[in-house]
Amino acid sequence: MEQIERDLLALIQREFPIDRHPYAVLGKRLGISEDECIRILGKLTDEGVLREIRPVMNWKEAGFTALLIGIAVDEEKIDAVAEALNEIPGVTHNYRRDGMLNLWCTLTGEPDEVDRYITFMTLLDGVREVKQFASEKTYKIGLVLDV
């Protein structure tokens, strides 16, 4: 990886600008053009080094509820339940695990909205149990990776 790529990755983790033209601002900080900044980020994305650029929010401070949900699902229904979870706007991802709670997902939304989605989950065919796990401590806010 070239040094300019490392510098750009380090910069976007720490100081992504809230600006109408953020890539021009980043480019200026690094002594490159906006187009070159976008080209480098595109290259890193194509190579699989960079997956996405998005904010990391403190959902609690913003008035939202964020939960980890463990679901006990009949094995023959697990794919259908996973597909139904993917349709819920507040579900960011779900994954299968071994154990009684064999399907897990994260759910974020306004409190009343989250309650409705949990009720929806309990009514899905094949779901035996839904358990909610609220976070007790946040570890990833402000995480910056060395590049």
- Domain boundary assignment for the chain: 3-46, 65-134
Would you state the structure tokens that stand for residue 25, as one six-digit string?
């601002």
Nearest to residue 141, comparing CAs of 60, 23, 65, 68? 60
Helical (H) or strand (E) element with 10: helix 3-14
- pTM given for the model: 0.65
Q: pLDDT band for position 141 (50/70/90)?
A: low
Right CATH for 65-134 from 3.30.70.920, 3.40.718.10, 3.30.70.890, 3.30.1060.10: 3.30.70.920
So what's the pLDDT on residue 34?
98
So what's the pLDDT on residue 59?
78
Query: What tens digit of pLDDT does each residue of 105-135 get?
Result: 999 999 999 999 999 999 999 999 999 998 7
In this prediction, what percent of the chain has a pLDDT beyond 90?
Answer: 75
More confident residue, 137 or 93: 93
Query: What tens digit of pLDDT does each residue of 47-106 get?
Result: 999 988 887 777 788 888 889 999 999 999 999 999 999 999 989 889 999 999 999 999
Q: Is the dihedral of CA 16, 17, 18, 22 positive or negative?
A: negative
